[in-house]
Amino acid sequence: MSAGGRDAAARVTLTSLAAKKAAGEPIVMVTAYDHPSARIADEVGVDIVLVGDSAANVVLGYESTVPVSVDELLVLVRAVRRGLRHPFLVADLPFGSYEASEEQAVRTAQRFVKEGGADAVKLERAGTSVDRARAVVEAGIPVMGHVGLTPQAATSLGGYRAQGRTADQAERVIDGALALQAAGCFAVVLEAVPAAVTELLAPLTTCVTIGIGAGGATDGQVLVWHDLLGLSDGHAARFVRRFADLRSEAVRGLTAYADAVRQREFPAVEHTYRLPRDELAMLRTRLAEKSRLDG
Ligand code: KIV
């Protein structure tokens, strides 16, 4: 075990991620927002866990990712950190926490590393985010970029829609990813872009590419925990595949519990604690004595 209590030999690092890319071994990334999920991701052996600002929607019930704060995400990052030994932990910088200046970006990234225990941070968009990414990398914190559909900028992108569907837009996506790579990002997420754009970008990248709705030409894939396990209700994006249906299972289990309570069928004898017969007799005597004295 390392000083931090994690098994250093099997830990995912920037070096092991780069080695996977070089070997053409697919990288598995998933979001997680709490301790039990982190423990499952660890047990399954995923490579990267992201505490995404998608927590705003899937955990905290906000309409978009815009309102979630650094303090709200930090609570989740710490919980996930406590559940992980092997995967590489990335924390999303939420909207408004890095755009204003390089100093702001570095300060926020430092909080996620120092207070949350993240290995790296992720920020969205290219443009000014490239300078913010460079500043955070220069401060010694690994950065993951994110281009294509960047939900923090959904309003200016015209909604939650695929990006890079014209030559101009596709060139912007490719240029953005390459600018983030040049700024020192160890990885870039490509969200909701045509597979053909990813295929053109792939041979130009030296950093790790992670896709979500970007086809199969990236080095790895990411999905949101609640989407892939079928915990979300309502509309799912085109790129989501449900690998389980945990929501139905949760509804079934909770309904069975409610029925059992209402029918007084739960708790049963095996769920209750026993008071030894002699202790019970003594208690009865004492209570009888008390009520005789009171009454
Ligand atoms: O916040 C998030 O979950 C993300 C992933 C979709 C990449 O940014």
Q: Which of 241, 204, 203, 206 is nearest to 221 (CA)?
A: 241
The CA distance from 215 to 284, in Å, is 72
Residues known to be catalytic: 191
> Looking at ligand 1, which atom is closest to the CA of residue 53?
1
The CA distance from 91 to 280, in Å, is 55
Is 234:224 a contact under the CB 8 Å cutoff?
A: no
**Ligand 1 pocket test, candidate residues 54, 60, 189, most atoms within 8 A of CB:** 54
Question: Residues lining ligand 1, judged by CB closer than 6 Å?
Answer: 31, 50, 52-54, 92, 146, 189, 212, 222, 224
Per-residue CA distances from 144 to 43, 93, 169, 247 (Å)? 24, 10, 21, 31
Beta strands in the chain (DSSP E): 27-31, 48-51, 88-92, 120-122, 143-148, 187-191, 208-212, 220-223
DSSP 165-225: -SHHHHHHHHHHHHHHHHTT-SEEEEES--HHHHHHHGGG--SEEEEESS-S-SSEEEE-H
pTM score of the predicted model: 0.94
**Ligand 1 pocket test, candidate residues 125, 191, 224, 229, most atoms within 8 A of CB:** 224
Residue with CA nearest ligand 1 atom 1: 52
Residuewise pLDDT in 10s, the chain (295 residues): 444 445 555 899 999 999 999 999 999 999 999 999 999 999 999 999 999 999 999 999 999 999 999 999 999 999 999 999 999 999 999 999 999 999 999 999 999 999 999 999 999 999 999 999 999 999 999 999 999 999 999 888 888 889 999 999 999 999 999 999 999 999 999 999 999 999 999 999 999 999 999 999 999 999 999 999 999 888 889 999 999 999 999 999 999 999 999 999 999 999 999 999 999 999 999 999 999 998 7
CA of 293 to the centre of ligand 1 (A): 68
Is 177:205 a contact under the CB 8 Å cutoff?
A: yes
pLDDT in tens, 236-285: 899 999 999 999 999 999 999 999 999 999 999 999 999 999 999 999 99
In order of start, what are the domains of the chain with their CATH numbers? 3-244 (3.20.20.60), 250-294 (no CATH)
> What pLDDT was estimated at residue 3?
42
> Looking at ligand 1, which atom is closest to the CA of residue 122?
8
CA of 78 to the centre of ligand 1 (A): 18
